[in-house]
Each structure stands twice: as C-alpha cells, then as structure tokens.
Amino acid sequence: MASNPMQRKTRNAFLLGFLLMLVLAIFIGVAAYMLIVKPMIDEEKQEELQTYAVYRLAPGFNVKSGEEITSAMVEAVDIPVTEDRKGDLIAAEMKNAQTGDVQTIPFPGGNSKLELMGGTILTSSMLMDGEENPDSLRYTEYNVITMLTQLDVGDYIDVRLRLTNAQDFIVLSHKEIVTLYGQTVGLNLTEDEILLLNSAIVEAYAMTSSELYMTKYVEAGLQDTAESTYVPTAEVYNLILTNPNIIDTARDAIRDRYTANYSGYSVRERIDAQRAQYAEEEKFNIESGMQQQIEAARQARENYLSNLEGE
C-alpha cells in the first residue's frame, strides 16, 4: 500500500534533521578535542619529556647486519625522551647526583643486529652482546669451499659438508667473512674449528662427489646461530680431546656430538658408511686434492703480490 505523501514528507524531514544534528555533534566533538583536550594531552606529554645525551650512528656511517660499530662511528646528540623510553637508549653522559658534574660515558661498542643508516639513534637492543676473542683465535684462508656468487666481506656464513647420498652436515656456523680474494676466503677460527674444518676438507677429498660449500645468513644479527652437526673422524676427535688449546666447552660440545646416537646410529657411523664406498681410491683422492689446494694457494699468493707490485 502506497504511503501517505504527508507521512513521507514528515519522515524525510525527521531523517534530515537527525543527520544535521549528528554532523553538528561530530563537528563540536572534534573542535572540542582539538581546542581543549589535545592541548592538555600535549602539555602533559611535554612535561614528561627530558633532554638526554645519547649516542647515534654518525652521518656517513652505514652498517650492515652483523657489522661492528666502534666508538669512531658514533656521536653524542641531545634529544627529548620520555622516562619510560630512556632505558633502551645508549647514554652518552651521566650526571653525578651529589656534585652535579656531568661525566662522559664511553660508547660500549658491539655488532649491529640490523642494517642501519647514518644518523640512526642507537639502542641497546640493536647491538649484539660482545664476546672476547678466545686465545686460540687465528686468521686462516681456504680455497676449497664452494663460494656463493653473492658474497661480501662482513657477511656471515655456515660451512657445510654435503655427501653423495644427500646427507648434509654443518661444519662451522655463523663465521664472518674477513677477506675475499678470487676463490680464497679468509676466516677467523678457533683451534677446534680449524681441526673440524680440516677433517671435513680431507673427507670431501676422499669422497670425490661430496662438496664443502657455504650458506649465507640473511639477517646475521637477528637470526639464531645454527648448531654444528658435523662429527670429525676418530683421529681428529682424539686429537681434539687432548689438545690443550681447545677450551672445555668446545671440547664437550664435540664430545656430545661424537657420542650421540640417532635411531641406533651415530653421525660418525653414517659418514663412515658413505666414505667406505671410496676405500680403494681414497688415498689417491686425498693426495690429489691436497696437491691441488697447495698449488691454488701458491698461485693466489703470486697473483696477490703481482697485483701489489702493479699498483
């Protein structure tokens, strides 16, 4: 049944009036907030702000994830900070409560968890905890690890051993690329890491279709360090147990891997089973591989010195 024209007119007038009142109420509410409430909130926030001297990455210094930030790369700046935010910032100055004297706080240093641009205000959560270098840490070079096409100094890698039956083991984890020259990579390794990698190199030579290769961390500062899974030969294992240059924690970790069993077999037994298939040609494979490594290292050294003379 068609509605009465008067009823429609009355209903439309009511709806229009309601909408106008709603728009007016919203306008008054927004105006009240902007003119009264917001200034009060801003004033309260401003009262909470205090100026502190904190460290930031100096302009012109950009760092990658995992790269060290030194005191030469930072500068102190004064910024307004709320009390609840101050705790994570790296303070550059400290005021003596008794004398009122202001003392400079040295920048603690550390490796960045993130890729940072110059000018970034630094926080404690951006830095990895620093670790003292072990006494056995040494710079070493290798030319037998398959290189990634995208690799730069400062990248962090795992070194892995892949066998012909698709078994894959992590030999070294979270190692920083110190130098790159052709197919030669420079790493800082501890005594136990050097022995583990030497063991893996010999096994890669013995099993001719196996491969030592590297994988790169995407965000070295944020990603957890992988656990090493490779177990050395019995000879290298016994050498590690008696080597006085290896710290107890590293020795214990290798012992745990060597004695662990998975479904009735140890990791070492699985590798030995695969290596046994190359028993006849193993000696020749190792001698040939070692000779090639020595020759490649010699040639790389000659090329390096030749380039220096040409500069």
pLDDT value for 266: 87
Regarding whether 147 and 294 lie in a shared domain, the answer is yes
User: In this structure, are 98 and 226 located in the same domain?
Assistant: no
Report the pLDDT value the prediction gives residue 164, as an integer from 0 to 100: 87
Give the domain CATH number at 69.
Answer: 3.90.1210
- Whether residue 8 lies inside any domain: the answer is no
Question: What range defines the domain where residue 241 resides?
Answer: 138-310
Element housing 57 (H / E)? strand 50-57
Could you tell me if 104 and 161 lie in one domain?
no
Residue 165 to residues 210, 211, 266: CA-CA distances in angstroms? 9, 12, 16
Helix ranges, 164-247 (H): 191-206, 234-242
User: Does the residue 167 lie in any domain?
Assistant: yes
pLDDT in the model for residue 283 = 86
Tell me, what DSSP letter sits at residue 219? Answer: S
Count of alpha carbons within 13 Å of 275, Cβ hemisphere only? 20
Residue 35 lies in a domain: no
Instruction: Indicate whether 9 belongs to any domain.
Output: no
Alpha carbons 138 and 134: distance in angstroms, whole number: 9
Return the structure tokens found at 125: 């959560």
Q: Which of 91, 126, 161 is the last residue of a domain?
A: 126
How many domains does the structure of the chain reveal?
2
Are 152 and 103 contained in the same domain? no
Note whether 71 and 117 are same-domain residues: yes
Kindly state whether residues 214 and 189 are assigned to the same domain.
yes
Task: Tell whether 79 and 112 lie within a shared domain.
Answer: yes
Is residue 111 domain-shared with residue 159, that is, in the same domain?
no
Rounded Cα–Cα distance for residues 57 and 75 (Å)? 6
Domain annotation covers residue 7: no
Phi, psi of 68 (to 5 degrees): -75, 140
- Asked whether the CA dihedral 45, 50, 55, 61 is positive or negative, the reply is positive
17 in a domain, yes or no? Answer: no
With a threshold of 0.85, does the pTM exceed it?
no
**Same-domain status, 112 and 153:** no
State the virtual CA torsion across 25, 28, 30, 34 in degrees, nearest 10.
Answer: -170
Look at residue 29 and tell me if it is in a domain.
no
Residues 224 and 160 in one domain: yes
Picking from 126, 156, 174, the residue at the C-terminal end of a domain is 126
For CA atoms 214, 216, 221, 222, the dihedral sign is negative
Position 193 in a domain: yes
Do 59 and 110 fall into the same domain?
yes
Are residues 117 and 195 part of one domain?
no
Give the whole-angstrom CA distance, residue 13 versus residue 56: 63
Predicted confidence pLDDT, tens digits, the chain (311 residues): 455 666 666 776 777 777 778 777 787 777 777 777 666 665 555 556 678 888 999 999 998 877 888 889 999 998 887 766 667 788 888 877 677 787 888 888 888 877 889 999 898 888 876 555 677 888 999 999 999 999 988 889 999 999 988 899 999 999 989 899 888 999 999 999 999 999 999 999 999 889 999 999 988 777 888 999 999 999 999 999 899 888 888 888 888 888 887 777 788 999 999 999 988 888 888 888 888 888 888 888 888 777 777 66
Domain boundary among 75, 103, 126: 126
Find out whether 173 and 241 touch, Cβ atoms under 8 Å: no
The DSSP-derived string for 141-180 is EES-SBPPSS--TT-EEEEEEE-TTS-EEEEEEEEE--EE
